[in-house]
Structure 1
């Protein structure tokens, strides 16, 4: 895991996340940003899969294989499929964690503007308030108040300061938000 030392720059305004370009030089690969909390959640999932789930499923597959004919053994077939899914997720998590740039929001030096990791409070046209943290695409949880830096709302908010107004087009129509508060926690 790498750590971004240029905190005042934040995330790029237009992330260039392109999947499947593994033949290129490492310097040309897109940057993926994660908050420290997001990286810890992903690491915890990786360890759980590696140390708990995979050994459990492996034992189940071994037991099913011992029963004989594997071609008609549903437990064996399902277990092998589950092992492939676990291995695929492990590779995905490991690759993401290895290539991620970890951003610690509390270390942001320019707290007057919105950058990656910021927690923002917005007020809509009707006076309703919502709070979101701008996070990486692997950390999204809209119910938990975490939106992707690649979302239309986050893109509109990047580099804005308290008092600025942004317009966002959403499926239900256009909405205008006023930036009320910026926090880096």
Structure 2
């Protein structure tokens, strides 16, 4: 998975860059300072600040490595520039209705941007795969944990403008 493309929206890319910067430029230096201070206090075997600080540094470094790999393989796809806004593709906000006419709205985003409570689903999710290429009024069957479900596409929307992102390569 590390070598596969990481499709992401401009907003998602901006959020990942900001998360990397916050860890690298703010949180990590604070923890390094605490660990240095704690190390100077003598016996490290029972020094909670030192033990916790070293553990937290390892967690931060793992997360920095993960984010760096994801940024390296990122391919920004701007949904605002989608040429066919009448069909469902990456970045679309889609409202679907089930057989009982219950509606649900989802936005198809990158794997690092998923937030199910907000309706942001991965482009690799079964629902997103089933909706890909559909137009308003089309029926699609999707296999969900609850079983097969037929959905009708009620509406499709794309953002009208994209956010500006800075160069992510400077972080790598």
TM range (shorter): 0.7 to 0.9
> What's the counterpart of residue 128 of structure 2?
154
> What's the counterpart of residue 125 of structure 1?
99
Q: Quick one: which of 52, 57, 61 aligns to 2:26?
A: 52
Q: Does residue 77 in structure 1 map to residue 77 in structure 2?
A: no
Q: Does residue 114 in structure 1 map to residue 78 in structure 2?
A: no
Q: Quick one: which of 142, 154, 161 aligns to 1:180?
A: 154
Preserved CA contact (<8 Å) 2:4 2:73: no
Equivalenced residue count is 159
Aligned partners of 2:117, 2:52: CA distance in 1, in Å?
Answer: 32
Aligned partners of 2:4, 2:42: CA distance in 1, in Å?
Answer: 48
* TM-score when normalising by structure 1: 0.82
> What's the counterpart of residue 139 of structure 2?
165
Q: Give the CA deviation at 1:135.
A: 0.8
Question: Which consecutive residues of structure 2, in runs of 5 or more, have no partner in the other structure?
Answer: 160-172
Alpha-carbon displacement from aligned partner over 1:75-100 (angstroms, at most 9, x marks no partner): 21111110011111112112211221
Aligned partners of 1:60, 1:30: CA distance in 2, in Å?
Answer: 37
Q: Give the CA deviation at 1:149.
A: 0.8
Aligned partners of 1:84, 1:136: CA distance in 2, in Å?
Answer: 26
Question: Which consecutive residues of structure 1, in runs of 5 or more, have no partner in the other structure?
Answer: 1-17, 20-28
Q: Give the CA deviation at 1:30.
A: 2.3
Q: Give the CA deviation at 1:162.
A: 1.1
Q: In angstroms, what is the RMSD of aligned CA positions?
A: 1.2
